[in-house]
Amino acid sequence: MMPAVNAETEETRYGTFLDLGLMARFLGYARPHRRWLGLAMLLPPLGALAQVAQPMVIQMAVDRHLLTGDMTGFGVLLLVLAALVFGQFLAGYLQSTVNAMLGQRVIGDLRKELFAHLLTLDAAFFAKNPSGALTNRVANDAEAISQMVSSGLINLFGDLFLLVAIAVGMVLLSPQLAVVVVVLMPLVIAVAFQVTRRMRLIQRQGTLLMARMTARLTEETEGRDVIRLFHQQQAARERFDQLNRDHRTNADRSNFLEAFQFSFVEAASTAVVAMLFWHGATLMAEGTLTMGVLTAFIDAVRRLFFPIRDLAGKFTTMQSAMSALERVFALLDTKAAIVDPPVAVCHTLPERPQGAIRFHGVQCGYGSDVVLSDLDLTIAPGERIAIVGPTGAGKSTLIKLLNRTIETQRGVVTIDDVPVNQIPLARLRRLAGVARQETFLFAGSVADNIGLFDPTITKERIAWAARETGAWEFIQRLPDGLESRLSERGNNLSAGQRQLVGMTRIFALDPPILVLDEATSSVDAVSERLIQTALERLMVNRTSVIIAHRLSTIRHVDRIVVLAKGRIIETGTHEELLAHHGLFATLHALQFQGASGRRGLENLK
């Protein structure tokens, strides 16, 4: 079983160099690109053979031709050596190119699946996982995995093949000189890998710090208005600077060890060559070794240290990728709490449902905290109903149950007598248009924000919807009309304009049910009048559910439902509830008569 990922720290329990289970699962993403993978696996052995052959050619060139004065034969072997060098270059170039292309294709598929999976997860998941950490998984963790493909896993295979090939070639050249390498190399490898082990721990900490820094940056950027409003820029800078310093310190430690490792391997290779010169000179004096063999052997030793030095870095790359794979697969293995119903129980609704809504015996909560309890409510087709009550009474929860943003713990919610958990999500979410206090707009054109790339919503319908809501007036004043570009979150529009775009979005969708969550609470008086006019048009021939905080906006609804402690305690028209002198009257007095209504409200909290 794959170890768990700590949701708060993003840290994994992964500690081994290579997890075969993780690798087997990851290689499944490479299967569609098996031709590229086959070519990537073929090139390293070809490059290694070209390298191993070069010392052999040098030995023959020196012993058989250079020392005997046969310059013609020497020249021929130099051409052979040049051909081998070109072959090594070509194999290395193709290997780097193919590895990079393979890595991008595989990671592109993985990123696509990650993003698609994120879109299926429910609100509770995003409440527990900061957006910065999720962005880090899709961006940085995926890139670490890509590095494993492009410069880690396949190159690691090539380096191991090269090491074995060079070792065999050295033994064939001179068993006596190979003894020197056999004696010294274990020490070099042991030191290199001890440094690598330390680097692995430091780089894992660096990955964790980067995730925290990304999360902090995202949070501070999204909360920039609050930071400015309360003059917390200095505190925000200090919090980010601390994370930045920690990351820099960690990077400095990693760079120090990497520099030490590189320098150590270089020094060790020089020491081994010096030992070979000394031992080789002795063997040459005894007549058991030739100059060509010594020259070729030293060249082979030089080639031997390149993969040893690179292997340490590739182990670090592999370790980072293993930790990243664990986090990525942990995210992919997170089950969506709300999914489409099985085909066997799916119900189809008419093209234009009536919009009758019923909550029957509904209980719902968050963990052990029950928000709604044994709630029964029936809303007739076309009825306009307002939901009011103190904060925490369950008003928003009631709406989330309607479109299955959350699930009931008990009871059933139906639309036209069909349980909502038996309606496909794509169909269900088109049945209710929701207008919230804040309309979220994406960076893109006005038209794209209204139609949301729905192919069934034409430009003509978008323009018609904008005229119906009154948004057409300000859209025409924009530089490019419907094609004008909006900045992130639509910040180049006013709050009222953003709300009008949101209303236009619902008009274009034309749902049979309309849900309003105090859609005019954050706009000025002029914008409120425009929005109220748009809402009046929207509510025609639609079942309308209005979550109301400002009681002055619901005087003309058909019915008002008052919630308290998760239960319906009053129902009636505006005048009937005022005459009843219950909670609604208390809330009304609190809003319009100041402190005189507070005493009754306290009793219901």
DSSP 33: G
Q: Is residue 11 part of a domain?
A: no
In this structure, what token pair is assigned to residue 598?
A: 């507070």
Predicted confidence at residue 385, as pLDDT, reads 94
Handedness of CA 192, 193, 198, 202 (dihedral sign): positive
E-only strand ranges, 211-280 = none
The pLDDT of residue 219 is 76
pLDDT of residue 3: 42
Instruction: For residue 90, give the CATH number of its domain.
Output: 1.20.1560.10
Query: In this structure, what token pair is assigned to residue 371?
Result: 């928000």
Q: How far is CA 565 from CA 160, 363, 364, 562, 587, in A?
A: 68, 12, 12, 10, 15
* Cα end-to-end span (Å), the chain: 46
Q: How far is CA 231 from CA 143, 225, 234, in A?
A: 37, 10, 8
Q: What is the pLDDT of residue 526?
A: 65
Helices (H), 421-492: 425-428, 446-451, 459-469, 472-477
Tell whether 547 is covered by a domain: no
Contact 308, 212 (CB under 8 A): no
Virtual CA dihedral for 331, 332, 338, 339, nearest 10 degrees?
170
- Looking at residue 78, its amino acid is L
Backbone angles phi, psi at 515, to 5 degrees: -120, 125
Counting beta carbons within 10 angstroms of the beta carbon of residue 588, is it exposed (0 to 12), middle (13 to 18) or buried (19 or more)? middle
Burial 214-234 (b: 16+ CB within 10 A, else e): bbbebbbeeeeeebeeeeeee
Report the pLDDT value the prediction gives residue 602, as an integer from 0 to 100.
Answer: 52
The whole domain housing 116 covers 20-332
Q: What count of other Cβ atoms lies within 10 Å of the Cβ of residue 259?
A: 10
The C-alpha atoms of residue 508 and residue 501 are separated, in whole angstroms, by 10
Q: What's the CA dihedral at 192, 193, 194, 195 to 10 degrees?
A: 60
pTM strictly above 0.75: no
Tell me which residues of the chain have a pLDDT lower than 50.
1-9, 14-15, 595-597, 601, 603-605
Phi and psi based region of residue 453 (left: phi greater than 0; alpha: psi -120 to 50; beta: remaining)? left
Q: For residue 113, is it left (φ>0), alpha (ψ between -120 and 50) or beta?
A: alpha
What phi and psi, each to the nearest 5 degrees, are found at residue 344?
Answer: -65, -25
What pLDDT score does 7 carry? 45
Q: Which amino acid, residue 53?
A: A
98 found inside a domain: yes
Burial of 582 (0-12, 13-18, 19+ CB in 10 A): middle
pLDDT of residue 80: 92
Give the C-alpha separation, 119 to 331, whole Å.
12
The pair of structure tokens assigned to 533 is 């006019």
Distance, CA of 155 to CA of 464 (rounded, Å): 59
CA separation for the pair 155, 45 (Å, rounded): 10
Q: Within a domain: residue 195?
A: yes
Side-chain half-sphere CA neighbours of 569 within 13 A: 18
CA 370, 374, 379, 384: dihedral to nearest 10 degrees? Answer: -40
Containing 362, the helix (H) or strand (E) segment is strand 357-366
- Closest Cα partner for 566 from 410, 394, 363? 394
The token pair at 167 is: 């070792």
**pLDDT score, position 360:** 94
206-227 confidence digits (pLDDT tens): 877 887 887 788 777 777 777 7
Report the domain count for the chain.
Answer: 1
The 10s digit of each residue's pLDDT in 109-132 is 998 999 889 888 877 787 777 776
49 falls within a domain: yes
Tell whether 543 is covered by a domain: no
Q: How far apart are CA 129 and CA 331, in angstroms?
A: 10
Helix (H) or strand (E) holding 102: helix 71-118
Is residue 137 within 8 A of residue 107, CB to CB? The reply is no
Per the document, the length of the chain is 605
**How confident is the model at residue 162, as a pLDDT?**
84
Angle at 47 between CA 41 and CA 53, to 5 degrees: 140
584 found inside a domain: no
